[in-house]
Amino acid sequence: MNRTLLRVEQLTTVLEGGTRPLHPVDGVDLEIRRGETFALLGESGCGKSMTALSIMRLLPPVGRVAGGNVWLGESNLLDLPETAMRLERGGRVGMIFQEPMTSLNPVLNIGEQIAESVRLHDPGSLPRLRQRVTELLQAVGIPDPARRAGEYPHQLSGGMKQRVMIAIALAGRPELLIADEPTTALDVTIQAQVLGLLKSLQQQTGMAILLITHDLGIVAEMADRVAVMYAGQIVETAPVAEFFGRDGHPYSRKLFDSLPGQEKRAARLAVIRGSVPSLASDFPGCRFAERCDRVMARCRGEAPGWRVTGPGRGMRCHLAETPWEAAVELSGRAGPGIAPAAPDVATAQSDRHGEQLSVEGLRVHFPIRQGVLRRTVGHVRAVDGVSFEIPPGRTLALVGESGCGKTTVGKGVLQLIRPSEGSVRFGADELTRLTGAALRRRRSLLQIIFQDPFSSMNPRMLVGDIIAEGMRAQGVGETPAGRRERVRQLLTQVGLDAGAAERYPHEFSGGQRQRICVARALAVQPRLIVCDEPTSALDVSVQAQILNLLGDLQRELGLSYLFITHNLSVVAYLAHEVAVMYLGRIVERGTVEEVLQAPRHPYTRALLSAVPVVDPEGRREVIRLEGDMPSPSDPPTGCHFHPRCPEAEPACAGSYPRVTRLSATHCVSCLRVGGAGAD
């Protein structure tokens, strides 16, 4: 029996409409077997999603498949008329898109959207359509499926919406499921649920999965085989165990070296210079040559062919036929290793500043108003009694699931949202008591870097004006010429060319835009920066650049960071202390070593267990959390976590546990560790 399900041969896709055509998919070959998970890995802009859209024949109007074959079993999908392709698309081939909210129809309930797919691709189930919809919702783990079928997308959490997308894809009983970054926007706990669901469904149905991702941990956990894509081409394929265990393509090795982790705290992360080249370019040689640490003269003038390097393994690189030690060009170029960190001068710098952030009993409650008279009938307790300190030159990471109140804490500290109660003291100033001009003057010392750099900048303003705007408002720089010079210095400091000041935000990559946001925050000479998920939307290689930059700036300027994130690998690399937040309250706080290596709260342990491990042999045992986080407008009695806690006891529903101090720096709120206290 032929086990090959999908065979892609020399697939070439062209996007026209610009001055020069783009080739996002340029001669791609891949093969997926029945029942296996095949991962397609690479940075944004490498052509991964365009490969999937080409297979599905869902290209934009300016796109066309210029050559190649896509065999699904005995059918060449590129030869089918559109009417026949519609039956295959959503039938034998299902697809889960990256952003479920933009893929679901907001004006149709989810039951009707699933039923639409059943009508098209599973006509045998029409006599029992409603029952089939309920079965699909039940299969993807949605509780109370009959009731949920009548709800609309906006009534569901992000994890629930992604489960609905999976249910729609399963409606046609697919042989192949294409999952395009299915967990990118999800918390680690929800991500673990979705990945576990895909594994379970694969075992039940025998379907194959084409998993598109840039997360090496997900590849290690999910994939049987992996292909690495760069600038429109496959540059390496291998069984997953060999991919993680042996030397391969230089691009793959640099992706590994870019990963943050606690073992790399004393060093700067390795970075990949530059960015993915324009896919409108002509490539006389290797497409990775300008960014490669092992480049040879031959690489620039001769495109490497595909070399088979073992059973099921190959790569597109001249090093496949050349000893690695002899291949490195002796040009004074930095090697592939991790550069040592600069000396830690944060203490010396911070002594000069001396401001510590002290937050005590911070509460941010939003009123719920109803009726014609808009009477207050309750409150959303977004932040409900949070306390912490950040000494000068240190980083506190605030972690937790989406909706736990992390961003609201950051905005409450900056007084962008006025706290309902509590104290926020920075140096000698009580920020909650400052108003008007007095507060505006202190804003120069506290800045924020937002999660989405593009939406936080005015697209009609030049980058130089965006950076200088805060300086003008705070009176930094005596003259326009002085401010322009300061902008040029800032751009250089964050690793951009001074000429970037004369360009617009849309002309930059995601990583470059985040550097611009860092420069804007530095422009008014702050002492503390709130970093709100600054790397969550970035590739691992660009993430490494931003983390190195933040670390360098902290050492040089003595900056303090409140680093809001759900990426625990970033926490392990960058932070000094960690505070774990759940439903508006901090449940565990301590040093990175105390919290990440010896967690005491069940929620912290669940978060850590859900993080994918970049080791195919290091299979983790995920602690499953049932259901979603409760509403902050109606928190559970007692410990807020007890309805989802796998270790809960009846007493946990009584009163909120008091804070138990385990050491001078480590404290936890859990009945099993300490005891009960006043709610």
Residue type, 189: T
Average pLDDT over residues 65-92: 94
Query: For the structural domain made of 354-445+527-612, what CATH number should be given?
Result: 3.40.50.300
Confidence band (pLDDT; 50, 70, 90) for 278? confident
- Percentage above 70 pLDDT, the chain: 93
Contacts of 373 (CB under 8 A, 6+ apart): none
4-245 and 354-445+527-612 have identical folds? yes
**Of 336, 399, 278, which is closest to residue 541 (Cα–Cα)?**
336
Give the orientation angle of helix 540-557 with respect to helix 510-522, to 10 degrees. Answer: 20
Confidence band (pLDDT; 50, 70, 90) for 618? low
pLDDT confidence of residue 611: 87
- Percentage above 90 pLDDT, the chain: 62
Residues 140-190: tens digit of each pLDDT: 888 889 999 999 998 887 778 888 999 999 999 999 999 998 887 678 888
Residues 1-32: tens digit of each pLDDT: 568 999 999 999 999 977 789 999 999 999 99
pLDDT confidence of residue 540: 85
pLDDT confidence of residue 328: 44
CA atoms of 52 and 58, how far apart (whole Å) = 9
Average pLDDT over residues 372-401: 93
- Pick from 197-201, 266-270, 611-615, 667-671: least confident: 611-615
pLDDT confidence of residue 225: 96
Contacts of 291 (CB under 8 A, 6+ apart): 251, 254, 272, 273, 274
Sign of the four-CA dihedral 156, 160, 165, 168: negative
pLDDT confidence of residue 281: 84
pLDDT confidence of residue 596: 95
Residue type, 185: A
CA atoms of 13 and 58, how far apart (whole Å) = 12
Of 600 and 270, the one with more pLDDT: 600
CA atoms of 91 and 453, how far apart (whole Å) = 38
- Pick from 65-74, 284-293, 552-561, 615-624: least confident: 615-624
Element (H, E) at 6: strand 4-15
pLDDT confidence of residue 332: 38
CA atoms of 472 and 456, how far apart (whole Å) = 18
CA atoms of 65 and 63, how far apart (whole Å) = 7
pLDDT confidence of residue 336: 38
Average pLDDT over residues 460-471: 94
Asked if 288 and 304 touch (Cβ cutoff 8 Å), the reply is no
For residue 24, give the 3-state DSSP assignment: strand
Cα of first residue to Cα of last residue in the chain, in angstroms, is: 64
Say how many CA atoms lie within 13 Å of 497 toward its Cβ: 6
Question: Over 60: is that where the pLDDT of 85 sits?
Answer: yes
pLDDT confidence of residue 351: 45
Average pLDDT over residues 121-137: 92
DSSP secondary structure string, 154-172?
GGS-HHHHHHHHHHHHHTT
Backbone torsions φ then ψ of 565, nearest 5 degrees: -165, 165
Residues 494-524: tens digit of each pLDDT: 888 889 999 999 888 777 888 899 999 999 9
Strands 225-230 and 37-41: parallel
For residue 474, give the 3-state DSSP assignment: helix
Residue type, 376: T
Average pLDDT over residues 608-626: 79
Beta bridge partner(s), residue 314? 237, 308
Q: Among 318-327, 469-478, 571-580, which range has the highest average pLDDT?
A: 571-580
Q: Where are the domains of the chain?
A: 4-245, 250-327, 354-445+527-612, 458-525
pLDDT confidence of residue 340: 45
Place of tokens 């009508």: 119
Confidence band (pLDDT; 50, 70, 90) for 58? very high
Place of tokens 């503390």: 528
pLDDT confidence of residue 316: 95
pLDDT confidence of residue 509: 74
Question: Over 90: is that where the pLDDT of 274 sits?
Answer: no
CA distances (Å), origin 201, targets 5, 35, 172, 176, 665 = 18, 11, 14, 12, 44
pLDDT confidence of residue 266: 78
pLDDT confidence of residue 304: 95
Q: How big is the chain, counted in residues?
A: 679
pLDDT confidence of residue 41: 94
pLDDT confidence of residue 329: 42
Q: Which fold has domain 4-245?
A: Rossmann fold (3.40.50)
For residue 581, give the 3-state DSSP assignment: strand
pLDDT confidence of residue 20: 87
**Of 384, 660, 677, which is closest to residue 669 (Cα–Cα)?**
660
Residues 335-382: tens digit of each pLDDT: 433 444 444 444 444 444 458 999 999 999 999 998 888 898 889 999
Q: What is the mean pLDDT of the chain?
A: 88
Give all strands of the β-sheet with 4-15 in edge-to-edge order: 22-33, 4-15, 63-72, 75-76
Give the orientation angle of helix 602-609 with respect to helix 188-205, to 10 degrees. Answer: 50
Strands 208-213 and 225-230: unpaired
CA atoms of 531 and 564, how far apart (whole Å) = 6
CA distances (Å), origin 162, targets 28, 34, 100, 141, 494 = 29, 24, 6, 11, 36
Confidence band (pLDDT; 50, 70, 90) for 330? very low
Burial zone of 2 (CB within 10 Å; 0-12 exposed, 13-18 middle, 19+ buried)? exposed
For the chain, what is the largest distance between any 2 Cα atoms, rounded to a whole number of angstroms? 80
Element (H, E) at 318: none
Asked if 671 and 651 touch (Cβ cutoff 8 Å), the reply is yes
pLDDT confidence of residue 322: 59
**Of 60, 50, 62, which is closest to residue 12 (Cα–Cα)?**
50
CA atoms of 323 and 306, how far apart (whole Å) = 17
